[in-house]
Structure 1
Amino acid sequence: MSGFVFKQFTVTQTRTAMKVSTDGILLGAWADINKAKRILDIGTGTGLLALMAKQRVSDASVSAIEIDTGACSDARDNFAASPWPEINLFEGAVQSFSAAEPFDSIITNPPYFNASLKGDNHARNTARHTDGLSFSELIASCSRLSHSKTRLNVILPCVEAEQFIAVAAQAGWYLNRHCLVRTTEKKQPSRSLLLFSQSSGECEPTSLTIHAADGSYSQEYKELCKAFYLNM
């Protein structure tokens, strides 16, 4: 069985095109979801972010959206086998998703390839390319599903992050925190962790390095993710 074992749950990933990644773990650990009563994970894949959110805020109502049938099957099984089988799963596009109440926090590790070459795996293409969910469509959906104090948490490659920031600003979402992530101290940042809200203010810039010089996880990465990794 293909899977990833965490401290409080296991992620089976036999049918999803996109497996557990450092990007997802980073976002799940970093996202601003404290005191949220209703949390939404857009593009849940295996259910990783929804499970991490539920572990962090156990009394929150967590909902997850996924368009790919195989990934939904994995997420459904992972939720059922976890300590939190009550996580809500919606199979379909976020553009057609509706909720009775707005969400306090939204987390998403969205597709970001735009007009780039695709492989033969349709599910993987859907998960990685913006054809089915452009940045503007994602932002519009977040606006529709939020209230004035909703927090939006996103991870993207640095170049695409700048594009997303511009699109978000046009829709009234302000960048409040921006964490630049690099794999080692000697490398340029490759990922941006982004926190948006609909309240303007100074953006808090931070940085994070995943690996120490000897190849092990850095102390700051361990501090961020130690509640989840089995051997950390």
Structure 2
Amino acid sequence: MSGFVFKQFSIGQTHTAMKVSTDGILLGAWAHVSDAARIVDIGTGTGLLALMAKQRAPKAVVNAIEIEANACIDARANFANSPWPDIMLYQGAVQSFKAATPFDAIITNPPYFNASLKGDNAARNTARHTDGLSFSELIKACSALSHAHTLLNVILPCPEAEQFIAIAEQEGWYLNHLCLVKTTEKKAPSRSLMLFSQVAAPLTTTHLTIHANSGAYSAEYSALCKDFYLKM
């Protein structure tokens, strides 16, 4: 698949190792960014999350960070060809990114494999494995880019989400909202959409099912993503 067309923008993904995924679309549609004046997407890949954030908060300043050079080629082109060419791309590690003003919202679909067998594609390994960006390093980077009321939006598989939640709390980030995602009603949740802040608050837990019994998208998934999918 060479590209993905959304209602307001298109994603070219010729160079990147990691293509548009349901995880990314879920996070981009669900993330709490609408009230943010400054947003940063850590590990932007093709630029999908940054573009979704900009569509939802068009007046916001949006920064995107990506370490992998080929992914940056796609992201740079996708931003330039979108209605929002002012999205700013930083090519490099988030650990070396500096911002004069903290961000109101952070979004990230981070690498999460930490002990699994790697393939031959180095770029794909970078995007999928935590070698270059552990959960602890990611959370520390988020702390450096935030203020006291910054919202951190993350998606992870459920087992890795438990690890992330524990590490985040050690660094002063508290899980405020958890959305457990199933692919179908009969399956167990496979993904965790998570909203963190540096303010401890009672946890709100919700559930989302992607596909109805018919195999079509569920009404709740359609309601969440209808502003983005071209044929929804």
Normalising by structure 2, report the TM-score.
0.99
Aligned residue number for residue 42 of structure 1: 42
2:184 counterpart SS class: coil
Q: Is the counterpart of residue 57 in structure 1 residue 88 in structure 2?
A: no
- Displacement, 1:35? 1.2
Q: Is the counterpart of residue 25 in structure 1 residue 28 in structure 2?
A: no
Query: d(CA) in 1 for partners of 2:116 and 2:3?
Result: 29
- Displacement, 1:64? 0.1
1:183 counterpart SS class: strand
Aligned residue number for residue 178 of structure 1: 178
Q: Is the counterpart of residue 155 in structure 1 residue 146 in structure 2?
A: no
1:79 counterpart SS class: helix
Aligned residue number for residue 109 of structure 2: 109
Aligned residue number for residue 133 of structure 2: 133
- Displacement, 1:115? 1.5
1:205 counterpart SS class: strand
2:46 counterpart SS class: coil
1:210 counterpart SS class: strand
Q: Is the counterpart of residue 88 in structure 1 residue 91 in structure 2?
A: no
Q: Report sequence identity in percent.
A: 74
Q: Is the counterpart of residue 167 in structure 1 residue 153 in structure 2?
A: no
Amino acid at match of 2:69: T
Q: Is the counterpart of residue 9 in structure 1 residue 9 in structure 2?
A: yes
Amino acid at match of 1:208: L
1:222 counterpart SS class: helix
Written as runs of structure 1 = structure 2, the 5 A alignment for 1:176-215 is 176-215=176-215
Amino acid at match of 1:8: Q
**Consecutive aligned runs of 4 or more in structure 1 exceeding 6 Å deviation:** none
Task: Please list every run of 5 or more consecutive structure 1 residues that lacks an aligned counterpart in the other structure.
Answer: none
Q: Please give the root-mean-square deviation of Cα atoms over the aligned residues, in Å.
A: 0.6
- Displacement, 1:114? 0.6
1:162 counterpart SS class: helix
**CA offsets, 1:83-136, max 9 Å, x none?**
000000000000000001000000000000012100000000000000000000
Query: d(CA) in 2 for partners of 1:95 and 1:5?
Result: 32
Normalising by structure 1, report the TM-score.
0.99
Amino acid at match of 2:147: H
Query: d(CA) in 1 for partners of 2:126 and 2:42?
Result: 14
Amino acid at match of 1:22: T
Query: d(CA) in 1 for partners of 2:225 and 2:34?
Result: 16
Query: d(CA) in 1 for partners of 2:35 and 2:162?
Result: 28
- Displacement, 1:227? 0.2
